[in-house]
Amino acid sequence: MNVPIRRGEVWTANLNPNKGSEVGKIRPVLVLQDTALTQAGLATIIVAPLTTQSRPTLAPLRVALPVRERMLLPSFVMVEHVRAIDRDRLGDGPLLHLDAQELAQVETSLRAVLGLW
């Protein structure tokens, strides 16, 4: 892959096969991993998948992303589904660059999911 992958970018990824309640299919994912680690050539990248489905009960954990750049549908970052994926799972990108406020909201949600208040 010739395009550098940076923290705060949204890329497509093939999350299949999934198991049980894991999120699957080809979908956008937010890169959470530090850019320096990603560019150092680690084989895996830590991401959070996106969904277009609004789930009011999970609203405090999910961060809404409006349509802009190459994102065609309003989406939500599913911070509760963070996972490491092999970089070969990544496809097209970047589709979107999160702004500082959006990334701060993701970090707040991530701290809540991990119990790092």
Mean pLDDT of 10-25: 94
State the pTM of this model. Answer: 0.94
**Each residue of 37-65: pLDDT tens digit?**
999 989 999 999 999 998 888 888 899 99
Separation between Cα atoms, residue 61 and residue 63, nearest integer Å: 7
CB atoms closer than 10 angstroms to residue 112: 14
**How distant, in Å, are the alpha carbons of 11, 13, 35, 84, 104 from that of 45?**
12, 11, 10, 5, 19
**pLDDT by residue (tens digit) across 68-85?**
999 999 999 999 999 999
User: Tokens at residue 68, please?
Assistant: 């802009």
